[in-house]
Amino acid sequence: MKKTHFLLSFLALGLINSCQNNDEMVDQSPGQLEIHSKTVNVTTHDGRPFSTGSGNSVNGKFVSGPGGGVLMQGFYWDVPDGGNWWDTVKGKVTDWSNAGIGAIWLPPASKAQNGAYSMGYDPTDYYDFGNFNQNGSVETRFGSRTELEALITKAHTENMQVYADIVINHNSGGQSQANPFTGTNTWTDFSGVASGKFPRSYNDFYKNSYGNNDEGAFGGFPDLCHANPYVQDWLWGRDDSVAKYYKNVMKFDGWRFDYVKGFGPWVVNTWNANVGGFSVGELWDSNVNTLEWWANNANSSVFDFAAYYKMDEAFDNGNLNALNDDMMWKRNPYKAVTFVSNHDTDIINNKMLAYAYILTHEGYPTIFYRDYEEWLNKERLNNLIWIHNNKATGNTSILYTDNDEYIARRNGYNGNPGLVVYINNSSSWQERWIQTNWASQQIKDFTGSSNWYPTTQGDKWVKIQCAPNSYSVWSLNQ
């Protein structure tokens, strides 16, 4: 949901492991630096999508493997109107697949109050994908139903998944009707939706016979009442419910739930139990306890806002020690979707360091469309995606932090060697001795920033380096 203004109009869940942060001293080898190590005991998941990287994909299609998947947010706020967006994204799907991106998150796809100008967060008719003439247009801002279906088909051809942005907290665009629960007229008459599916009236919104309110309302819009069995039936119960229609007819593979602060986590849990598919909730809260509570009760992934705000503190405010703090991915990487920016919020300025962080660490990393296609260096992002998909395996040990430097080790999994990431937020080259998991083996920087090819000592120690205001990622030279 757009939080600053609003237009009116892995993928498989694994076992949940608790995390323990253990501070330990690494034995100091002769002539080497003493390094404090914090190990985050979380289990690596090897079932999320993975790509061999650009130039190594199989028949140009996304290929799964050990490193995990990468999600593309396939839109930004106020993408061009005119009904061309679905075709725009469709034209990029093959390149994204080749880069190692395994899933696309699309904006709300159904007709909203502002018709051809709406970003979709003011939904009117959940079954109008740009094929009914209502709210002033046939097509949505993004295009027609035919174009949307062609985009989803194209993504599936590339072995990619497509996630629907679902807005079920509130509705907009209803007609005025007398409401006995308020004693006034309310805009809650959705009996005339063009699709004829999920007609609604005042008793389907708070306040009503089920109560005065739920967890939260948004923007003064009619607040959908999930306690009403009729609403539940249309959202996920019926064979032609919103959830089942999106999955079985439109062929969406998963869900991004908007503004989940507005209703209980049981709603998402029940949706998932009835329909399945990947799901992630937008719980805008930096408190990791709140994020974990919601994810567990919703049986869903959640956006890691705790990591988001810590990255801003680290990379923009010169305090890389903030990366020692707790985050959702440290609690449960299976349920943490990490991100650097999105359509709602964009506060991190030093974005390449932030992407180097999320694409080398646990969790399910998201890339923002404008960062990838417009604002940042696509070649460098593709390199990080390749590193993520090929090398980012195993649990995480934080090897060193200070205000300007951060070094962490992914410990490898099931024969994959893992990696060491070195992030340097200072204005000069830095070097440090660190302990790897590799004895007497040559390593290299897979970003190409450093031309060193050091060999680890028998005790697994080695000196690595990092360029100013940059990052390097080290692994076995193989």
Buried b (16+ CB within 10 A) or exposed e, 373-407: beebeeebbbbbbbbbbbbbbbbbbbbbbeebbbb
Residue 45 identity (one-letter amino acid): H
Give the closest residue to 462 by CA, choosing from 470, 447, 471, 452. Answer: 452
Residue 233 assigned ligand-binding role: yes
Residue 401 CB-half CA count within 13 A: 19
Q: Helix, strand, coil proportions of the chain in percent (round to 5)? A: 25, 25, 50
Count of CB atoms within 10 A of residue 38's CB? Answer: 17
Q: 249 by DSSP, 3-state: which?
A: helix
Place of tokens 């076995």: 476
Is 239 annotated among the ligand-binding residues? yes
Residue 320, judged by CB atoms within 10 A of its CB (0-12, 13-18, 19+), counts as buried
The annotation status of 326 as a binding-site residue, yes or no, is: no
Q: Give the residue numbers marked as catalytic.
A: 258, 282
Closest CA to 41 of 320, 333, 322, 306: 333
Please name the residue that has the structure tokens 């034209």: 91
Strand-pairing partners, residue 444, are 475
The length of the chain in residues reads 478
**Residue 106 main-chain phi, psi, to 5 deg:** -100, 155
Cis peptide before 207 (omega within 30 of 0): yes
H or E element in which residue 103 lies: strand 103-106
Residue 135 corresponds to which tokens in the numbers above? 């709210």
Do the Cβ atoms of 316 and 310 come closer than 8 Å? no
Token pair in block for residue 449: 């920033």
Cα separations (Å) of 259 from 74, 217, 268?
A: 19, 9, 12
**Dist. CA 119–CA 342, nearest whole Å:** 14
Cα–Cα distances in Å, from 151 out to 92, 147, 466? 10, 6, 41
Among residues 120, 135, 43, 41, which one has the least CA distance to residue 86?
120
Distance CA 247, CA 253 (A): 6
- Count of CB atoms situated within 10 Å of the CB of 462: 22
Binding-site residues, please? 169, 233, 239
Binding-site residues for Ca(2+), please? 169, 233, 239
